[in-house]
Structure 1
Amino acid sequence: MVIGKSYAFGRLDRCLKVSLLEEHVGEPISLEERSSESISERNCLSGESTNIELNPFRYLEIGIVAGVPVSINGQSLSPASLLAELNEIGWKHGIGRIDMVQNRLVGMKSRGVYKTPGGTLMAAAVRELEALTLDRETTQWKDMVALTYAELVYAGRWFDPLRQSLETIAATTTSSVTLKLYRGSASVASRKSPFSLYREDNQTDADGFIRLYVGGGHLSSLLTCLLCLIQK
C-alpha cells in the first residue's frame, strides 16, 4: 500500500513506486512469519546495508517555523518538496524503517513494515527544538494530548476546532536543528532558537536553589545522627 504522491526512483527498478508524501507500508512475502526478517528487496524507502556503506555521514539542517519544517540547509521548500527531499536523503542513509506488530480496528494483530525516512527526520528535528523552547509543564501537557492530536488527524478531522487549538503549543518552536545522518541513525548535532529557554547563567543560579532545596533534609539527617551518638 502506498499513501500520498508516488515517485519512481530511477536506480530502484525493483521497486514499483514509493511514497514521498507520507509512508510506504511494505508487505513482503515473509510478513506473516513473525520469526522471520522481512525481505529487504521491498525496503524501497530505507537503504539496504550496501547502500548505507556507500554513503558517509552527512549533516543536515532543517529549518522550522511554529513547529513546521520549512527548509533544508537554508533552502525554503513547499511541504511536498521538502518531504520528498528528506525521503530521498534519509533513504540513502538507511533511516526510517520499522518492523512492528500492531492492533487493528477489528481487534486482530497484524505485522507491518513501515518506511518513512522523511517523517523520521522531521520528527527528530521538531522534538529536539521543542526540548529547547518549551518549558517542563508544557512539554508534559503536549505529550498527554499527542495521542488525541494523532487520532484527530488519522480520522481526517484536520479542520476540527480541537486540532486547530492544539496547534498553538508550537508557536515558539521556531529556528533550526542540525542532524548528523550515519548508518541508519539520525543524531542531533546542534540546535538553536531565539525562543530558547536555555540560559547559561541559570546553571550557576541553580547552586543556591539546590542548597535550599536539600538543606532541610541534610539538617534533619545530621540532627538524627547527632541524637544517635548522644544516646550511645
Structure 2
Amino acid sequence: MKIVLAYSGGLDTSIILKWLIEHYGAEVIAFTADIGQGEEVEEARVKALRTGAIKAQALDLREEFVRDFVFPMFRSGALYEGYYLLGTSIARPLIAKHLVRIAQEEGAEAIAHGATGKGNDQVRFELTAYSLKPDIRVIAPWREWEFVGRPEMIEYAAKHGIPVPATLEKPYSVDANLLHNSFEGGVLEDPWAEPPEGMFRLTTDPHMAPDRYEYLEVEFVGGNPVAVNGEKLAPAALLAKLNEIGGRNGIGRIDLVENRFVGMKSRGVYETPGGTLLYHARRAVESLTVDREVLHQRDGLASKYAELVYNGFWFAPEREALQSYFDHVAQTVTGTARLKLYRGSVITVGRKSPLSLYDKSLVSFDEKGGYNQADADGFIKLNSLRLRVRAKAQPKD
C-alpha cells in the first residue's frame, strides 16, 4: 500500500509516518508544502527520509499561497468571529490540493494527515480532498490509533529515535506560514493562563518594540496590494515585507477562544503582523472607493465567507459564488493607505485614490458644494415618519 502523507516534521506527523509504516505496512511518500515556514521545510524533507519515507517532496508554494488563497480571502474583508484572520484555515485547502495531486501522480491508494479528531483541520483537509477526488481514501491516524495525548507520543518518538520539537515542558503545538503563526494545546489549553514568554516568533513583544512611530504606505490596484513604501513587490515578497515591518513593531498578536466547526470551544493564540497591516490598509482605501451600500453589504457577507473558509469549504460552490461578488466589489479598491505603527497599535493617518468617491467641497463645513442643507429637513421627516406614528399610537410612560 502506498500513502501520501502531509508532513510537517512536527510531533504529530513524525509519529504518524512511522505509525503508518508499522500499522499499515505502507510505503509512505512525505509531502511538505513550503508556505513560508523557512528552514523547517528542508529539515522536514530530510527527516522524513530518515524516519522511513520512500520519497519526500518539498514544494515551494509560497507564491501560489499568497496570490491564489490569501489575497482572494483578503478581498472579502473576512474575519472569523471578529478577530481571526484565518491564517491556518486558508493554508489547508492549498496543502490538500497538492496532496491529492501527488497521490494521483504517484499512484497512491490513500492520503493521510496529522489533524486530530477534535479539530478543524481534519475537516478542511478532507472536504478539499473529496471535492477534488471524490473516491480518494483518507487515513486520519488520530481517529484510529491508541495514543490519547502528546505525552504518549513523545514517549513513542523517544522509543523509535525520532527527534521532535515538542517536549513535556513545552507541549504546545505551532503551525507556521507566511500569513501567521498559530499556537495551541498544552499549556495554552487553560484560557486564563498567559502565553509563555518567548513563545512568539514573528513579533516583538510590544513593550520591547521601538519607542517611536513608524510610518508605512501600502498601495492597492484592483483590490490587491502591489507595493510597500513605493516598492513594487510580488505577492509573497510583499507579505514577507509587511511581516518584517509589523513584527518589529509588535503588531498582530491575538489571543482568543473560538468556536470550532466540530462543536467545541478552543483557545488559540496567533501572530499575524503582515496580515493585520493589510487588513487596516485595505479598509482605509475601501472607505474612499466603495459605495456605502455595497460596502455594508460586502461586510455583511464577509462573516459568512469567513465561516466557509474556517470550516473548510474553500472549494464549495457557495464560497466560489461569494468570491465572484467580492472580486467585483474589489475592482475599485485602488489607492494608497498610510499607517502609523507604534508598539502593537496600527493607526490609519491617510488614504488617497484616483477612484475616490470623497468630495471635499460636498462635505466641507466651509463650502456649499452644491448641497442644499434645507433638503435635510424633508429627509429627516420622511425617515422619522414611522417613529412618530408609533409614538402617537403607543405612547411611552
Under a length normalisation based on structure 2, what TM-score does the superposition of the two structures give? 0.48
| Distance (Å, rounded) in 2 between the aligned partners of 1:86 and 1:18 | 19
Gaps of 5+ in 2: 1-7, 11-33, 40-173, 389-397
Structure 1 gaps of 5+ residues are 9-16, 222-232
Residue by residue over 1:11-59, the C-alpha shift from the partner in whole angstroms, topping out at 9 and shown as x without a partner, is xxxxxx984521110237531121121113111122114531x352110
The equivalent position to 1:132 in structure 2, one of 270, 275, 288, is 288
Tell me which of 7, 29, 35 is aligned to 2:38: 7
Q: Which amino acid aligns with 1:27?
A: E
Asked if structure 2 preserves the Cα contact closer than 8 Å seen for 1:63 and 1:176, the reply is yes
* 1:33 counterpart residue number: 190
1:157 corresponds, among 312, 315, 326, to: 315
Contact 1:60 1:181 in 2 (8 A): yes
Shift of 1:152: 4.8
Instruction: Summarize deviations over 1:185-206 as a string: whole Å, max 9, x none.
Output: 1111100001111101212315
Contact 1:20 1:87 in 2 (8 A): no
* Residue type at the aligned position of 1:192: K
- Distance 1:82-1:206 versus aligned 2 partners, 3 A rule: farther
Q: How does 1:75-154 map to 2 (within 5 A)?
A: 75-154=231-310
Matched, 1:24 2:181: yes
Greater shift, 157-166 or 30-39, is seen at 157-166
- Structure 2 residue 193 is matched with structure 1 residue 48: no
Deviates more, 1:179-188 or 1:157-166: 157-166
1:13 alignment partner in structure 2: none
Q: Are 1:102 and 1:111, in contact at CA under 8 Å, matched by a contact in 2?
A: yes
Check if 1:185 corresponds to 2:351: no
CA distance in 2, matches of 1:76, 1:158: 33
Using the TM superposition, give the Cα deviation of residue 214 of structure 1 relative to its aligned residue in structure 2, in angstroms: 4.1
- State the SS of the aligned residue for 2:182: strand
Looking at structure 1, the residues matched to 307 and 192 of structure 2 have their Cα atoms a distance apart, in angstroms, of 30
Using the TM superposition, give the Cα deviation of residue 105 of structure 1 relative to its aligned residue in structure 2, in angstroms. Answer: 2.0
Q: 1:228 corresponds to which residue?
A: none
Report which structure shows greater RCO (CA 8 Å, sep ≥6): 1
TM-score w.r.t. the length of structure 1 is 0.80
C-alpha contact 1:18 1:44 (8 A) present in aligned 2:
no
Range that drifts further, 119-128 or 22-31: 22-31
The one-letter code of the counterpart of 2:35 is G
Change in Cα spacing, 1:181 to 1:20, as seen in structure 2 (3 Å) is farther
Q: Percent identity?
A: 40
Return the match for 1:71 from 217, 221, 227.
227
Helix, strand or coil at the partner of 2:270: strand
8 A contact 1:60–1:72 mirrored in 2: yes
Structure 1 residue aligned with 2:379: 213
Contact 2:336-2:352 at 8 Å conserved across structures: yes
Separation in 1, partners of 2:378, 2:38? 60
Q: Is the 8 A contact 2:175 2:182 kept in 1?
A: no
Shift of residue 110, structure 1, vs aligned partner: 0.9
Distance 2:175 2:219 in 1: 25
Aligned residue pairs, count: 209
Aligned CA RMSD, in angstroms, stands at 2.7
- 8 Å CA contact retained: 2:222, 2:331: yes
Name the stretch that deviates more: 115-124 or 23-32: 23-32
Write out the 4+ residue segments of structure 1 that deviate beyond 6 Å after TM superposition. Answer: none
Amino acid at match of 2:192: S
With over 3 angstroms needed to count, the CA separation of the structure-2 counterparts of 1:61 and 1:122, relative to structure 1, is: same
